[in-house]
Structure 1
Amino acid sequence: MLLKDKKVAIIGAGPVGLTMARLLQQQNADVTVYERDKDPYARIFGGTLDLHKDSGQRAMKKAGLLDDYYKLAIPMGISITDENLHVLFTKNITPENQFDNPEINRNNLRTMLLNSLADNTVIWDRRCTDLEIRNGKWILLFENGTQSEADLIIAANGGMSGIRKFVTDTSVEDTGTLIVQGDIPDPQKDCKEFYQLCNGKRLMAAYQGNLIVINPNNNGALSYGVIFKNPYDKEFQSKDSDTVRKLLVERFSPWDYRYKDLFQSTSTFWSFPTRKLPLNTAWKNNRPLPITLIGDAAHLMPPFAGQGVNTGLMDALILSNNLTSGDYNSLQEAIEDYEQQMFIYAAEAQLSSSRNEMEMRDPDFSFRQLIQ
């Protein structure tokens, strides 16, 4: 096996990095994951994730974790409404579609993956700031002054990865969309009317260039994202939740009052512009030692086609197979084949996401167009 007597370092303990570690450990590879979070109990903010049958669930199946995913994930229907909360379309869960793409809380997914790994696979509180080469080995340099050694680096540390520079000079681009996320920990108490209106389904609505996506059951909390063309207004990207709440209430003034009640019931907001890492230039072919990228570090994309984590899990599935199958003569050859495949399917996913992004933030967009 190519990884015999080799140390593999995965940078980042997100879903993609942990799945990569699981797949390699199944083949007895020596793998360590380095994560900047202080410990495994650090809360991961954001909406739920849905793993698709033809990508994310394939990786879970190969990892022997598909049944565990089904136990933790929640099949959720969809209600599409207009700005007045009139229901335009409803998709219910049936025995036939319940396993298509059930939603799982990010923290629950991390715990599931961590429990599948050997003890001490993940080293916490290790923010990797740089890499060096000494005596034919990668040396990982961490913010706290410690160092580690590896023969192969797999960077899975997100869209703003600082390790990406060893693989590509391509820069991340702002796509022009702003997402404001809100979280209500006790929706049955704090926004009871809206919570009951959702009736266990995700709720989506679009009007005059504003899109809102609501999940009433994100591990007990109601979480939502408001999406619109980025006004590049510093106030909207403020960490002051009172300011963001006021701006959202004003922006949604033509909508039903219950949407505004939703914002009033939210104590904390997170605002961030969406970004993309284009795949239109070849990656460096003169890397001194084996190193590659997976997940958002490789192909950051806006979250408008549900493809981000699923594409990353395909990365882990293909790369782990290449590294352990015995079909390649060197680590470089195995990595090159993975990257050639990834450039094709990840570019397609990015294109799909970008098309949805442009459509959804158009002032004339309406879900009625899709339903009719």
Structure 2
Amino acid sequence: MNTTPTPRIAIIGAGPGGLTCARILQRHGIAVTVYDHETGPDARDQGGTLDLHEDNGQIALREAGLLDDFFRLSRPEGQEMRQLDPAGTILFHHVPEAGERFKPEIDRGDLRDLLLGSLEPGTIRWGHTLTAVEGPDEGPRQLRFDDGSTAPADLVIGADGAWSTVRTAVSPARPEYTGISFLEAWFHDVENRHPALAELVGQGSAAAADGDRGLFAQRNSGDHIRAYIIQRLPRTWIRDAGLTPRDTGAIRALLLERFRDWSPALRSLLTDNDGLYVDRPINALPVPHTWAHNPTVTLLGDAAHLMPPLGVGVNLAMLDAGELALAVVRHDTVADAIRAYEQTMLPRSNEWQKTLDHGAEELISTELPDFAQDATTTA
């Protein structure tokens, strides 16, 4: 059992979960180092928008002392939601009330910048791709990176996402394809260049499905819209058609055929995008995913419980991060902190995994969301 008075804590992954954990640890005077494989904070686009829920993601931000900053950056109007049928008829329309803050939207890049800016200088070690967690279970651990460098650690926190390297130290599980594939499309300067689409989506999101395929479009800040073309297909559907993701015209022709009976307004999400499509097959970890207690290694977020993208992933990652950081603060040893954290996190994540098992199918279901079943439809 590790009884180091001041444990060397290494977080692998500078996503929302890893950064939230680091921020809360530092607020309590505990040193931490975050390692990330990217070359710097601007190495890539951080993705679209996400909503942070009052009952999980916002709890972590409050513990991080960043909730007020989040509200200043967030877009409560992004809680607007429209559900349509393939003919373009609105079946459900939620318009947030003034002051509604249950799950306001924020761009992923803005959230990451907020968290990065809250950390002490030098916390992040960019350009460190982890290849292995070595050393005995009881510690100390040795982190090995792809450039041959190493770093010691008494606590290793895997916040390194779906294809986590840290996970291999505690579990053999690997993500599996759900049978549902996303094709991402971007639209820029939408009020000027895509006004009909801007009207269709509104300030939040719009979705439609027919049971086999679906479309989901969501307003981002900066006058952008990001859309996802959702289909039940083999993982290799683009390659099977003799194409690559760069073959925009040929992929568009396939999509137009598959969505041939949909309304022209919705089909504009297939034809009017700016730039290339991005292929995003949806993967999930086996259900339930658990592992034997390890006194020096634990996981949070997608590394622990990758699920279909149904609005809980980042929220659970940040809740995990807050609870793990506080467990470290409140316990005398790393092993006790990990045990206390996992006693809460694993049952919760397993329940969510069971609830969302095969949940990717909901993304193409014609059923209205539960919260819309009894709501009055507005146009």
TM-score normalised to structure 2 length: 0.89
Counterpart position of 2:281 = 273
Indicate whether 1:61 and 2:62 are aligned.
Answer: yes
**What amino acid is the match of 2:206?**
L
Distance (Å, rounded) in 2 between the aligned partners of 1:261 and 1:45 = 25
Tell me, yes or no, if the aligned pair for 1:252 and 1:259 is still in contact at 8 Å: no
Q: CA deviation at 1:173?
A: 2.0
Tell me, yes or no, if the aligned pair for 2:178 and 2:358 is still in contact at 8 Å: no
Q: CA deviation at 1:357?
A: 2.6
Q: CA deviation at 1:282?
A: 4.2
**What amino acid is the match of 1:310?**
N
Counterpart position of 2:193 = 190
Tell me, yes or no, if the aligned pair for 1:11 and 1:33 is still in contact at 8 Å: yes
Q: Which digits, 9 at most, give the CA deviation of each residue in 1:301-346, with x for residues without a partner?
A: 1112x111111111111111111014xx431122122112111111
299, 304, 313: which one pairs with 1:293? 299
Which moved further from structure 2: 16-25 or 241-250? 241-250
Identical residues among aligned pairs (%): 33
Distance (Å, rounded) in 2 between the aligned partners of 1:367 and 1:211 = 13
Indicate whether 1:335 and 2:338 are aligned.
Answer: yes
Indicate whether 1:314 and 2:322 are aligned.
Answer: no
Distance (Å, rounded) in 2 between the aligned partners of 1:224 and 1:189 = 18
Which moved further from structure 2: 290-299 or 250-259? 250-259
Distance (Å, rounded) in 2 between the aligned partners of 1:276 and 1:95 = 36
Q: CA deviation at 1:246?
A: 2.4
Q: CA deviation at 1:11?
A: 0.3
Tell me, yes or no, if the aligned pair for 1:191 and 1:262 is still in contact at 8 Å: no
Q: CA deviation at 1:210?
A: 1.6
Indicate whether 1:214 and 2:220 are aligned.
Answer: no
299, 303, 306: which one pairs with 2:309? 303
Counterpart position of 2:71 = 70
Distance (Å, rounded) in 2 between the aligned partners of 1:348 and 1:311 = 12
Counterpart position of 1:115 = 117
Tell me, yes or no, if the aligned pair for 1:44 and 1:106 is still in contact at 8 Å: no
**What amino acid is the match of 1:258?**
A
Indicate whether 1:258 and 2:259 are aligned.
Answer: no
Q: Which digits, 9 at most, give the CA deviation of each residue in 1:13-55, with x for residues without a partner?
A: 0000000000100111110101111111123343311111110
Q: Which digits, 9 at most, give the CA deviation of each residue in 1:64-87, with x for residues without a partner?
A: 001111111111211222212222
Tell me, yes or no, if the aligned pair for 1:307 and 1:353 is still in contact at 8 Å: no
Q: CA deviation at 1:140?
A: 1.5
Tell me, yes or no, if the aligned pair for 1:3 and 1:29 is still in contact at 8 Å: no
Counterpart position of 2:245 = 239
Counterpart position of 2:53 = 52
Indicate whether 1:5 and 2:38 are aligned.
Answer: no
Distance (Å, rounded) in 1 between the aligned partners of 2:247 and 2:193 = 17
TM-score normalised to structure 1 length: 0.90
Distance (Å, rounded) in 2 between the aligned partners of 1:113 and 1:281 = 28
CA 1:131 to 1:360, structure 2 compared with 1: closer, same or farther past 3 Å?
closer
| Structure 2 gap ranges (5+) | 375-379
Tell me, yes or no, if the aligned pair for 1:127 and 1:142 is still in contact at 8 Å: yes
Q: CA deviation at 1:355?
A: 5.4
Distance (Å, rounded) in 1 between the aligned partners of 2:145 and 2:236 = 35
Q: Which digits, 9 at most, give the CA deviation of each residue in 1:90-136, with x for residues without a partner?
A: 11121242x11011111111100001000011111111111222895
SS for the counterpart of 2:93 is strand
SS for the counterpart of 2:180 is strand
| Structure 1 gap ranges (5+) | none
Which moved further from structure 2: 211-220 or 59-68? 211-220
Distance (Å, rounded) in 2 between the aligned partners of 1:193 and 1:104 = 23
SS for the counterpart of 1:350 is helix
**What amino acid is the match of 1:107?**
G
CA 1:190 to 1:247, structure 2 compared with 1: closer, same or farther past 3 Å?
farther
Q: Which digits, 9 at most, give the CA deviation of each residue in 1:222-254, with x for residues without a partner?
A: 101122222344317842241332222222111
Counterpart position of 2:353 = 350
CA RMSD of aligned residues (A): 2.4
Tell me, yes or no, if the aligned pair for 2:16 and 2:111 is still in contact at 8 Å: yes
135, 142, 146: which one pairs with 1:133? 135
Distance (Å, rounded) in 2 between the aligned partners of 1:69 and 1:3 = 35
Which moved further from structure 2: 200-209 or 153-162? 200-209
Tell me, yes or no, if the aligned pair for 2:308 and 2:359 is still in contact at 8 Å: no
Distance (Å, rounded) in 2 between the aligned partners of 1:59 and 1:45 = 20
Distance (Å, rounded) in 1 between the aligned partners of 2:148 and 2:253 = 43
Tell me, yes or no, if the aligned pair for 1:209 and 1:360 is still in contact at 8 Å: no
Spell out structure 1 runs of 4+ moving beyond 4 A: none
Distance (Å, rounded) in 2 between the aligned partners of 1:44 and 1:368 = 30
**What amino acid is the match of 2:198?**
Y
Distance (Å, rounded) in 2 between the aligned partners of 1:202 and 1:3 = 49
Q: CA deviation at 1:360?
A: 3.9
**What amino acid is the match of 1:271?**
D
SS for the counterpart of 2:82 is strand
